[in-house]
A and B are shown apart, each in its own frame.
Chain A
Amino acid sequence: GENVEQHPSTLSVQEGDSAVIKCTYSDSASNYFPWYKQELGKGPQLIIDIRSNVGEKKDQRIAVTLNKTAKHFSLHITETQPEDSAVYFCAASIEGGGADGLTFGKGTHLIIQP
C-alpha cells in the first residue's frame, strides 16, 4: 500500500519567515495530495490540495509543489503568523477526491516564534 513520509517532525521559525514542509510518497499511482492543518483539540482542516496534473498551486500565503518524477510534494507558507502554529499533515491517495481514503504523513508541528 501507499507510504507517506513527512519531514521535519517539528519546525520552529521566526514570525514573518517562510516555512517549508516536505513529503514523499511511494505509490506512483497516487494522484491527489492534500494538506491539512490541525489545531489543538480540533479536527484536521483542509488548507490546500494538488492533483498530479499540475506542478504547483498557490493560495495567498500558502503554496504546494509536486514533483511526480521524484514522488515528493511540499507545503510552503510565506510571511508566517502566530496563527499558523499548528500540526500540519500531508496525505496522498490514488483516486481523485480521496475516494479510497487518505494515507497520512506523521505530521509536522509548526511553531511560529514571535
Chain B
Amino acid sequence: SAVISQKPSRDICQRGTSLTIQCQVDSQVTMMFWYRQQPGQSLTLIATANQGSEATYESGFVIDKFPISRPNLTFSTLTVSNMSPEDSSIYLCSVVLGPEQYFGPGTRLTVT
C-alpha cells in the first residue's frame, strides 16, 4: 500500500481567498487523482493529475477554479481559488499503486 499525507489537514478560509492543498506520497506513482467529498456525501472526482501532462478535469470542474500541479512522481497540489461557502468540503488525493487505488486522509475546508 501507499502512505499518503495531505497538508493542511483542515482550514477555515474567508470567502474570495485561495487555498493550496499539498499531497505527498511515499512511493513514485504515475497516476494521481483529486476528489471532493461534500459534507455527508460521496466522493466526486475533480481531476486526474499525471506527472508530465496537463491535468484532466471532470465535467463541472475547471482549471481556473481548481488549478493542479504535478511536479514529480511523489507530489501534487490542488488550489481552490476564489472560494465561496459552496466549496466547503473534504478534498482528497488518491494514487494508483499496482492494481489498487489509495486515498489520503483528506483536507477539511470550511469557507466562511
Which A residues have a C-beta under 8 Å from some C-beta of B?
A: 32, 34, 36, 42-46, 49, 89, 96-107
| Contact (A97, B101) CB under 8 Å given A43-B92, A43-B106 | yes
| A106, B42: Cβ atoms closer than 8 Å | yes
Size of B's binding interface in residues, CB under 8 A = 22
| A101, B41: Cβ atoms closer than 8 Å | no
| Secondary structure class of chain B's binding surface, majority of residues | strand
Closest to A100 in B: B48
Which B residues have a C-beta under 8 Å from some C-beta of A?
A: 1, 4, 31, 33, 41-45, 48, 58, 92, 96, 98-106
A-B contact pairs, 6 of them (CB 8 A): A34-B100, A43-B104, A43-B106, A89-B42, A97-B96, A104-B42
Give the Cβ gap from A8 to chain B, nearest Cβ, in Å: 14
Besides A42-B105, A44-B103, A106-B42, 14 new A-B residue pairs in contact (Cβ under 8 A), listed by A number: A34-B100, A43-B103, A43-B106, A44-B43, A46-B102, A49-B100, A89-B43, A98-B100, A99-B31, A101-B48, A101-B58, A102-B45, A103-B45, A106-B41
